[in-house]
Amino acid sequence: MGFFEKLKQGLTKTKNSVFGQVHNLFKNMRRVDEDLLEELEELLIMADCGYTSTEIIIDRLRDTLKERKIQGGEEALEVLKEILCEMVGEDTPLKLETTPSVILVIGVNGVGKTTSIAKIAAQLKKDGKKVVLAAADTFRAGAIDQLKIWADRVGVDIIAQQEGSDPAAVVFDAANAAKKRGADVLIVDTAGRLHNKKNLMDELAKINRVLSRELPDASRENLLVVDATTGQNAVIQAKEFKNAADITGLVMTKLDGTAKGGILFSIKEELDIPVKFIGVGEKVDDLQPFSARDFVDALFEKSEKVGIE
């Protein structure tokens, strides 16, 4: 099964609960009017698109339909899909221009951070890159062992110390190991929670200082992992981390577990951070680089086959 098929399957809950209704709303309307736009607004808010994003979508849709003199529902639906793609923005691949390059992975506990690291590492290895993992989440019980298991399963090197050790020291060792071993990419796991938020942000700052000192010219990606099932809490988390770190991209996990996949549009609109990966399952290849067109098409593709006609 190709990833587009997995994506369609993974978005079934969102499609069945909301976007299938959007599809049928347009399909069954002979004429697009304000009543339809009001109903669409309610559906988008139900999908966790957020009030700000929803207002932007509705306003742009209204203006475009008027400008192009579109009245039919099918044509209007295509315009809506165009707007949703544009809102998410152009696809943005990882920037890995140096040897080694660094990917710092951030996110609260429970969002799927460690498994996302393993899945990204597996893809990079498949692309012929040598990867080293740094187990710098030294505070969560079992985090180091979990990453070691994934490293062994994927077949990449890992640098780790004992639980409770200094995360910055782990990163120092990993940065030097990456240089000595000729690694293409160093992926750093970080703590998702410490005693308080200030401690967590201070720890991230220490790690960043070590990376800047040991690998000053390395390409950097700071990826924030967010759990789609947490809805608007994901937006709040993203805002907090953005204030503390230079987030370059989002990894959206567990889209298969939510009926409110519109959260992706909300986060992108409110934070203007590109979505770089999306996850729709537990398998290694169920996390893939994000494609706006594929995502939007999957939300509407062949809706009648999933029982919403």
Which amino acid belongs to residue 81?
K
Q: What local confidence, expressed as pLDDT, does residue 307 receive?
A: 39
pLDDT in tens, 100-147: 999 999 988 888 899 999 999 999 999 999 999 999 999 888 899 999
Q: What local confidence, expressed as pLDDT, does residue 196 receive?
A: 56
pLDDT in tens, 277-289: 998 888 888 898 8
